[in-house]
Amino acid sequence: MSSGNSMSRITFYEDKNFQGRSYECSSDCADMSSYLSRCHSCRVERGCFMVYDRSNFMGNQYFMKKGEYSDYMSMMGMSDCIKSVRMIPMHRGNYRMNIYEKENFGGQMHELMDDCENVMDRYRMSNCMSCNVMDGHWLMYEQPMYRGKMMYMRPGEYRNFMNQGMNGMRFMSMRRINDSYY
């Protein structure tokens, strides 16, 4: 498997079952509203993507891996407006992230190098309010066992999840985006 933006491709369709106007994308797009007025289905030919219901990669996020989603938007309870999309580059190597109990890297800190299905059970940590991703790309979920709303985390410092458009969210499980998704 090769990495690189040219290898990733997702096509959005205005109607269910891959009908209507379409828009093909192989990189980040901060505002899709000029390409499609709505989106009810999509096809991921290669790679992984996050789609967002607000422009500039904000709002509710949904992870899309290779596959066909003939009525994906209504299945997920998503509005019919995908406003932005972000391509997730393939990562080879180690995964490393520090999670913190409080905003601004406060409170308990734990280093993750693998998936964590429940931070409360594993670390006795009732909140995860900030993190620092050193290596790899991760999905963080609001509930244990990789359920509920999610947020895509790429390398960088995240001092306050509210800055990412996730008001009042805290994360209770984390999963690496690795080769098994591509």
| Residue 180, C-beta contacts closer than 8 angstroms, at least 6 positions apart | none
What is the distance between the alpha carbons of residues 71 and 39, in angstroms, rounded to a whole number? 9
Domains of the chain: 5-88 (2.60.20.10), 96-181 (2.60.20.10)
pTM (2 d.p.): 0.85
Give tens-digit pLDDT for 14-23: 989 999 999 9
Q: Phi then psi for 9, rounded to 5 degrees?
A: -155, 130
- Run means of pLDDT, 10 residues per run, the chain, 182 residues: 62 93 95 88 94 88 91 64 90 95 94 96 90 97 92 93 67 92 74
Give tens-digit pLDDT for 63-76: 999 999 988 665 56
3-state secondary structure of 127: coil
The per-residue pLDDT for 39 is: 85
